[in-house]
Amino acid sequence: MRNKFLVLFFLTIIFAKVSVRIESKPSNAHVKIDGEPFGLTPIEEISLAPGLHKIDLAYEEYVPIQYELDLQLATSVVLLFQLNQIHTVTFSTQETGLNFVLDSKYNWFENKIKMKMEEGTHNLKVLNGDSLIEEKKLKINEASEIFYELPLSESQLELSQQKVDEALKALKALQSVKDSIENK
State whether residue 15 is helix, strand or coil: helix
Decide: 17 and 73 in contact? Cβ < 8 Å.
no
In a domain, 144, yes or no: yes
* pLDDT tens, residue by residue, 104-152: 999 999 999 999 999 999 999 999 988 998 999 999 999 999 999 887 5
pLDDT at 161: 65
Decide if 142 is inside a domain.
Answer: yes
Residue 159 domain flag: no
Q: What is the CATH number for 73?
A: 2.60.40.2070
Residue type, 2: R
Single out the residue of 156, 107, 99 nearest to residue 132, CA to CA.
99
Q: What is the pLDDT of residues 9-38, one digit of tens each?
A: 444 455 578 999 999 999 999 999 999 999
Answer yes or no: is 169 within a domain: no
* Domain limit, last residue, from 82, 102, 137: 82
- Flag whether 10 is in a domain: no
Task: State the pLDDT at residue 8.
Answer: 43
Please classify residue 150 by burial: count the beta carbons closer than 10 Å to its beta carbon, then call 0-12 exposed, 13-18 middle and 19+ buried: middle
Quote the pLDDT of residue 117. Answer: 94
Q: Residue 142 is part of which domain span?
A: 86-148
> Percent of the chain having pLDDT more than 90?
60
Identify whether residues 72 and 105 lie together within a single domain. no
pTM: 0.65
Number of domains, the chain:
2
Do 91 and 76 sit in the same domain of this protein?
Answer: no
Looking at residue 155, its pLDDT comes to 56
